Structure 1
Amino acid sequence: MINVAILAYDGCWGMGVFSATDFFRIVTLLEQHLGVAQSYTVRVLSVDGADIRLASGHLIRPDAALNDTDNCNLIVIPPLEGIRLAQGFEPDPQTLQWLAARKRQGARVLAMTTGVCYVAAAGLAKGNLLATHWAFTRQLKKRYPQHDFVAHQSFMHSEGIWSSGSLGGGFDALLEMLAQDLGDHFAQLCATHLLVSAPERLSPILPGHRNHQDQAIFKVQDWIEAHHAEAVSLAQMAREAGLTERTLKRRFQLATRLSPNVYLQKVRIDKAKKLLLSSGMSVKSIAYEVGYENVSFFVRLFKTQVGQTPGEWRDYGL
């Protein structure tokens, strides 16, 4: 059983707390539907187990105190109301000690947007990139100069610490961890049930390819994900980045460890995975939908990348 601890503290945003609890509720419901054992237990914790007043002013009652939960495999830190950060908010020292101890024991950590202040204050992830809300990168850098903060719509990951720049990025990070724990097929199935967007518009589950600081390449990645169904050329990508084709290929490979065209293929296959699970569309229609006119080529590419044909993927585990 994987134990998830969601850290609640005065001034945190309730949507961060409940997006995580609801995410794992969806996971449990899918496991029940598939007839498999439950994989996660989830508890909301506060430093002393007392009620927490959220940023909205509402009270929530945690399940336990921090010291009642030593065995954590994943810790989720919801975002802090930004105005409190500007007013000099300092994370509770007892919470920081607990967080650092759990991380040394091997727990994964997800810090949602401004919740990353807990990671920095605990002295974790020094020298690594940390994603946060775009409005607070400078403020956090000034307060924690040993850390590098970047505005990022999705998430960053390094050494067991995930950080997100948006609520949607928090879902992206949880989906990546779910893929690590229960496999890509289950993570894609969960993504199609999140109801935060149409399945084909969800961010791709492509672990590790956005952990960089090249803003031009971020822009190209966003553009590819928005225009993957079109006849995309390297020249178009280069124009979007404001780079020559040669420079684009070099910087894209350096930042993502993939060529631009392979990244495009992976995005298209990821979108196809979601459509196969969430729709009754034929394989031919899905091939056209994600940008391939040659259905045979699409099927061969899908099998090469996934290890199954589109039909086998759709039926796997169901």
Structure 2
Amino acid sequence: MLPPGFRFSGLEILRDLAAMAEAYAADLYGETEPVQTISLQTLSLSGGSVVAADGRRVRVDGVLADAVLDGLYVADFEIDPAIWPAWLDAQDEALAVLGAVARRTGAVACAGAGVVLALEAGLGRSGPVAAAPFLVEAIRRGRRTAIDPTRTVVEATDFLSTAGLAGEPQLALRLIERAVTPHLAGVLARRIGAALPIEDTPDDAFAVTVLRPDDIVARARALIRAGFSHPMNLEAFALGLGVTPRTLARRFQSSIGMSPKAYQQHLRLASAQSMLVRTSRPVARIAAMVGYADTAFFCDLFKRRVGETPKAFRDRARRVSHPR
């Protein structure tokens, strides 16, 4: 969401990450069909264009109240701290809309002055939140909101926050982690050199249990994750890591309890499960996208590994997500 006087930094970071995500998806799945991993919409409270902090007028894609979102990013904006109380008092209707949309959205992230808007809209009242020094008074306006100055991105009960520009790349990645997948956020974090502790978190479908840390296996896993839909020549792959296929297989088994090929299969099936839940693509197309040209083989493998057919998995997931 773009408030009046918004700063471009957050929007440009999200645009860059969305473009990187599309390039990654094209590399993984492009031979099968185009895949859009992140659909980025610019929204305003009125649906009309918004004047940015630098004076540029920006057209938006729609009005916030009508949006159905997986993730919401409230951009930082420029405002004179002296007029905060009067300005906020005049925003009751807009803040009610923001609160309603945020509460029905899976993940919310706010930067800079956007943190104040989230609090005024009724989110994260107890904190903790991130705050620039000049915003502390506005954040604590009639509230006992805890402020955490020690972390770049601070997690409250119902939204993520950062104090300003320095934390916006990590804030955007954390939003993608929650709204899309931890796997995609991890790929993007590695591509921009950002620190994001999401590898092998319990809610990441791509995660595995690390039994013994191993630098070579970690490097190999990153490479496999970046191209798991493509065929793997184990001998050439091991040579690129400076080890023999036998040594690589032994180290994989010791580190994560499975072979390189089994790890690739794990990633393919995790990706298939994600697409079965999040898209309406036919099973045959999903099979081809994750690397299996033979749909019957894919369905048999899926049932053996997951415990049910792809169709049954999709139907059950939808019943859980949309109970009658």
TM-score clears 0.5 = yes
Deviations 1:15-57 (A, max 9, x none): 1222223322322232223226323322111122222111112
**SS at 1:109 equivalent:** strand
Change (3 A) 1:270 1:178: farther
One of 80, 84, 97 as aligned partner of 1:84: 80
Alignment of 1:55-66 (within 5 A): 55-66=53-64
Alignment of 1:288-299 (within 5 A): none
1:132 shift after superposition: 2.7
- Contact kept in structure 1, 2:162 and 2:168, CA below 8 Å: yes
Rounded to whole Å, the distance in 1 between the matches of 2:216 and 2:166 is: 20
The match for 1:70 is: 67
Rounded to whole Å, the distance in 1 between the matches of 2:67 and 2:84 is: 29
Change (3 A) 1:152 1:58: farther
**SS at 2:148 equivalent:** strand
Change (3 A) 1:300 1:72: same
Rounded to whole Å, the distance in 2 between the matches of 1:308 and 1:154 is: 37
Rounded to whole Å, the distance in 2 between the matches of 1:100 and 1:161 is: 11
Alignment of 1:231-250 (within 5 A): none
- How many aligned residue pairs are there? 239
- Contact kept in structure 1, 2:154 and 2:162, CA below 8 Å: yes
Alignment of 1:168-247 (within 5 A): 168-180=166-178, 182-193=180-191, 195=192, 199=193, 202-206=194-198
The match for 2:277 is: none
1:266 shift after superposition: 11
Tell me if 1:22 matches 2:19.
no
* Structure 1 segments unaligned to the other structure (5+ residues): 1-6, 210-261, 286-294
- Contact kept in structure 2, 1:132 and 1:151, CA below 8 Å: yes
Rounded to whole Å, the distance in 1 between the matches of 2:151 and 2:216 is: 20
Change (3 A) 1:274 1:149: farther
Q: TM-score, normalised by structure 2?
A: 0.58
**SS at 1:43 equivalent:** coil
- Contact kept in structure 1, 2:177 and 2:183, CA below 8 Å: yes
The match for 1:46 is: 44
- Contact kept in structure 2, 1:204 and 1:270, CA below 8 Å: no
**SS at 1:75 equivalent:** strand
Pick the structure with more strand per residue. Answer: 1
One of 2, 6, 17 as aligned partner of 1:8: 2
- Contact kept in structure 1, 2:76 and 2:164, CA below 8 Å: no
Deviations 1:85-119 (A, max 9, x none): 34426343232111111233244211012210111
Rounded to whole Å, the distance in 1 between the matches of 2:44 and 2:12 is: 14
**SS at 1:19 equivalent:** helix
Change (3 A) 1:29 1:132: farther
Deviations 1:138-170 (A, max 9, x none): 323442523222225521223331112343533
**SS at 2:84 equivalent:** coil
Rounded to whole Å, the distance in 2 between the matches of 1:48 and 1:55 is: 18
Rounded to whole Å, the distance in 2 between the matches of 1:185 and 1:97 is: 34
Q: TM-score, normalised by structure 1?
A: 0.59
Q: Quick one: higher RCO (CA 8 Å, sep 6+), 1 or 2?
A: 2
1:122 shift after superposition: 0.9
1:10 shift after superposition: 1.4
Larger mean Cα displacement after TM superposition, 142-151 or 174-183: 174-183
| Greater radius of gyration (CA) | 2
Q: CA RMSD in A?
A: 4.2
Tell me if 1:161 matches 2:159.
yes
Rounded to whole Å, the distance in 2 between the matches of 1:144 and 1:268 is: 53
Rounded to whole Å, the distance in 2 between the matches of 1:125 and 1:51 is: 29
Rounded to whole Å, the distance in 2 between the matches of 1:84 and 1:25 is: 34
1:64 shift after superposition: 1.7
The match for 1:132 is: 131
Rounded to whole Å, the distance in 2 between the matches of 1:139 and 1:270 is: 45
**SS at 2:48 equivalent:** coil
* Structure 2 segments unaligned to the other structure (5+ residues): 202-209, 227-236, 269-289, 292-324
**SS at 2:73 equivalent:** strand
Deviations 1:283-313 (A, max 9, x none): 579xxxxxxxxx9998678527xx7769957
